[in-house]
Amino acid sequence: YGLFALQHRGQESCGIAVSDTEGPKGKVLSYKDMGLVNEVFNPEKLEKLNGNIGVGHVRYSTAGSSSRENAQPLVLNYVKGTLGMAHNGNLLNAVELREELSYTGAIFQTTIDSEVIAYLIARERLNVPTVEGAVLNAMKKIKGAYSLIVMSPRKLIGARDPFGFKPLCIGKRDNAYFLSSETCALDTVGAEFVRDVEPGEVVTITKDGIKSDKSLCQKNTARCIFEYIYFARPDSKIDGMGVYESRINAGRILAKTHPVDADIVVGVPESGNVAAMGYAMQAGIPYGTAFVKNSYVGRTFIKPQQKSRESSVRVKLNVLKEVVKGKRVIMIDDSIVRGTTSDRIVQMVREAGATEVHMRISSPPFISECYFGTDIPSKEQLIAHNRTVEEINDVIGADSLGYLKVERLKELSRGQEICMGCFTGKYPLEPPKEDIRGEYKK
């Protein structure tokens, strides 16, 4: 049920690995495959997964191709037992580490950076008495974005990189503990939110409760702002800031900085809806629903190929003609990446009879790629690369276009330190010399 609640974070593949802390040490049962959670798992498959400690994952590929081998969790058998591991994020030094490990005889089954982490943990475990010690040592060698959940035969370990790029939180129900990317998954399983795992922290959960190691915590952090703008579900809270509140704020800021006379404010589902409500509240213009979304279609941004992305827009959204006909429409979306979706949506609203279409975006223009786990393509594919706002507006065909200003971004995370690399080209960590972000398909 927790993975169901996190389905929006990845729709390519999913998997679950479980172990019984009372059973034979090192026996891990796992199942993973390509597809959505409800396609991969049925009651029969779940019945075979018996245990009282487990780790699950939904994937969308940012590094490493989309294939069954690359599905997670990864399960490794090694001298000290078995490890099950799930990873969210991207490593910057995976290529060098993989090479280094290969020269000492490591054999890789996948093309994902997560396997490098799993190997490092297994190797470090030979030198230290505990798995959490091995995780800490591995963290000293890896650079980049990672929220990890590691399952050893008797323990569950959660770790978050020192910058805290990706979210990770702790929940509890009765005497069971949960680690999750988002709080919405805790709500789904009836667990109460305990707290967020801090950037740089390693938490260890055993039958005796929970322990924490903060030796790698640092002052400067850099949470991914795109979690608030797009990725996370609006009913989640990340590091004390509600995603819903963050998106309402973004809409309010847009209404103040880019006002326009109009009859109705509409959001592009899903992540544009809440920002549109914020805009409407601030501007005193009625909020309306202009799009009917087919709930059985996944997220277009996450589709690996451009061709499949374009054809899915019309399948995914249809315009309610009676809502926009004869009206001046303000349309709010969370971002414009390549621009293909936006120009189609603007055109659809015009065809439905809108007299004006004003586009407002609840994030700044994407001018640079992301190295930390969001599949933002190379600069050449970004519509905002080397174009002014006016030029982008010409491409998408709106009457006007307004973006959220970079200097207002921090208001979306309640002043917490954030990574804005994709909007500024300045990163909290030195970006890698070569493209590590997987095979980009034009």
**Residue 368 to residues 170, 182, 288, 314, 427, Cα–Cα distance (Å):** 33, 26, 33, 28, 10
Confidence at residue 291, expressed as pLDDT on a 0 to 100 scale: 95
DSSP classification of residue 326: T
pLDDT in tens, 272-297: 999 999 999 999 999 999 999 887 76
- What is the C-alpha to C-alpha distance for residues 106 and 379, in angstroms, rounded to an integer? 34
pLDDT at 441: 35
SS3 annotation, 331-376: EEECCCCCCHHHHHHHHHHHHCCCCEEEEEECCCCCCCCCCCCCCC
Tell me how far apart the alpha carbons of residues 20 and 15 are, in angstroms, rounded to a whole number: 17
pLDDT digits (tens, 9 = 90+) for 13-59: 999 999 998 887 778 899 999 999 999 999 999 999 999 999 999 99
Burial class (CB in 10 A: 0-12, 13-18, 19+), 358: buried
| pTM attached to this predicted model | 0.91
Spans of the chain, pLDDT less than 70: 62-65, 297-312, 434-442
pLDDT of residue 221: 97
Which pLDDT tens digit goes with each residue over 307-350? 555 566 778 889 999 999 999 999 999 999 988 889 999 999 99
Task: Round to whole Å and give the CA distance between 183 and 238.
Answer: 8
Tell me if residue 36 falls in helix, strand or coil. coil
Determine the pLDDT at residue 294.
83
